[in-house]
Amino acid sequence: MARFFTFLVGFFLLIFFISPALSAPLKKKFYKKTCPLAETIVRSTITNAMANDTGIPAALTRLHFHDCFVRGCDASILLDSTPKHKAEKESMRNKGIGGFEVIDAAKAKIEAYCPNTVSCADIIAFAARDSVHLTGGIYYDVLGGRRDGTISLIGDATKNLPDAFFNVTQLKENFAKKGLSLEELVTLSGVHSIGDCHCSSFSKRLYSFNATYPQDPSMVSTYASYLRAKCPRPVKTNSGVDPIVPFDPLTPTRLDNNYYKNLKSKKGLLFSDQVLWESSLTKKMVGSNIKHPSAWASKFASAMVHMGSIKVLTGSQGEIRKNCRVVNY
Ligand code: HEM
Ligand SMILES: *[C@@H]1O[C@H](CO)[C@@H](O)[C@H](O)[C@H]1NC(C)=O
Ligand SMILES: *[C@@H]1O[C@H](CO)[C@@H](O)[C@H](O)[C@H]1NC(C)=O
Ligand SMILES: *[C@@H]1O[C@H](CO)[C@@H](O)[C@H](O)[C@H]1NC(C)=O
């Protein structure tokens, strides 16, 4: 018994000393020696892609969020389905997800320059940082050293990503599971000031909200009629018609605090956006982000860094994928 105990203590001591070698903290300028141009290549790839399609930065920022909330920031969102498993990207919660070609383009250039060195997970994080900077003028340093995971399952996305009809309690719980606070939830939601949304993500608010109100009363009627003109009434037989509308009709490619002003004037697009103004738990935070845009911007930068560290694989964990869409052999 005593011997077994000694063995146990020894075993845990061993684990304690070995584990720092297996995992390591993320670092600033992680590729300084191994691939000094990595971040420059990502940035120029995004600038080029954006010149052709102004929606690219929004797509890339969302990609980082959807990556980090499912199995941590491990590029699991990039993996394609295999004959055995449907991947995260097939989940309804990932409707409209994009930006994959831009990540592929950056990865191809980086592989040519320094093979087997830069993870797909870091490329997504760099890309999101540049997207935020290019659309909002908000800059933060991204730490590097994330490694790529090997698993991507459709069910994990459905379980871990928030739904557009969640109320504040449900949103709070969803973010808390990832170690993010209610304030970080409100701060990060401000990114719904850029990008587009499919009608199907909110059309229930326009036509069939509940038994008493066909239209969600927390949406101002002028905005609801504007949206009804763009979004046809959903029909039972799936006609496949699902147009997209901008989150912020005024400045759709500018990341700013206009999102919060829209909420205050009851022009939030998603139910999960508008609840942040309707609930007493978060209303004051929304008000403060309207009044103090630069304070919001710096909170946004910190919250992005925090989000980018969720359950990361580091050190010798995971792998450096050769092709971001498939795991290495
Ligand atoms: C708080 C809970 C959130 C919910 C329920 C939510 C839900 C959604 C939905 C339903 C869409 C539109 C999908 C479509 O119909 O095409 C969307 C788009 C988007 N989301 Fe969120 N989101 C949330 C938080 C976030 C966060 C934290 C970020 C990033 C930090 C983010 C970034 C984006 C971006 C940039 C778009 C536009 C994408 C594009 O134009 O390609 N969202 N979100
Ligand atoms: C430009 O964007 C369109 C879609 O917006 C895409 O189909 C096309 O492949 C892009 N071209 C380049 C060179 O990236
Ligand atoms: C939020 O939704 C959950 C699940 O539907 C419900 O139990 C809860 O009462 C709701 N909370 C609020 C504040 O509406
Ligand atoms: C419909 O929604 C309104 C506003 O959220 C709410 O006050 C009301 O109780 C709901 N009615 C039903 C029948 O669910």
* Domain residue limits at 49: 24-160
The residues lining ligand 3, judged by C-beta closer than 6 Å to any ligand atom, are: 167, 169-170
Number of structural domains the chain divides into: 2
Four-CA torsion 8, 13, 18, 20, nearest 10 degrees: 130
The secondary structure of residue 31, as a DSSP letter, is: T
Ligand 3 test: best mutation among 165, 169, 172, most atoms within 8 Å of CB? 169
pLDDT number for residue 33: 97
H or E element in which residue 197 lies: strand 196-198
Measured between alpha carbons, how far is 202 from 200 in angstroms, rounded to an integer?
Answer: 5
110, 322 contact by CB (below 8 A): no
Q: Residue 15 pLDDT > 80, yes or no?
A: no
Please write the tens of the pLDDT for every residue from 166-182. Answer: 999 999 999 999 999 99
pLDDT single digits (tens) 142-151: 999 999 999 9
**Mean pLDDT (the chain, rounded):** 93
- Look up 192 and say whether it is catalytic: no
**What does DSSP assign to residue 229?**
H
What's the confidence (pLDDT) of residue 235? 66
Q: Note the Cα 285 to chain centre separation in Å.
A: 21
Minimal CA–CA distance to 127: which of 31, 44, 211? 44
Q: Could you read off the pLDDT of 71-100 as tens digits, one per residue?
A: 999 999 999 999 999 999 999 999 999 999
Same domain membership, residue 80 and residue 187: no
**Is 174 domain-assigned?**
yes
Which among 207, 213, 279 is the best mutation to test ligand 4's pocket, defined by most ligand atoms within 8 Å of the CB?
A: 213
CB atoms within 10 A of CB 223: 17
Whether the full predicted model's pTM is greater than 0.95, yes or no, is no
- Do the beta carbons of residue 259 and residue 193 sit within 8 Å? yes
Decide if 146 contacts 172 (C-beta within 8 A).
no
- Indicate if 181 and 295 belong to the same structural domain: yes
pLDDT the model gives residue 146: 98
178 and 84 in a common domain:
no
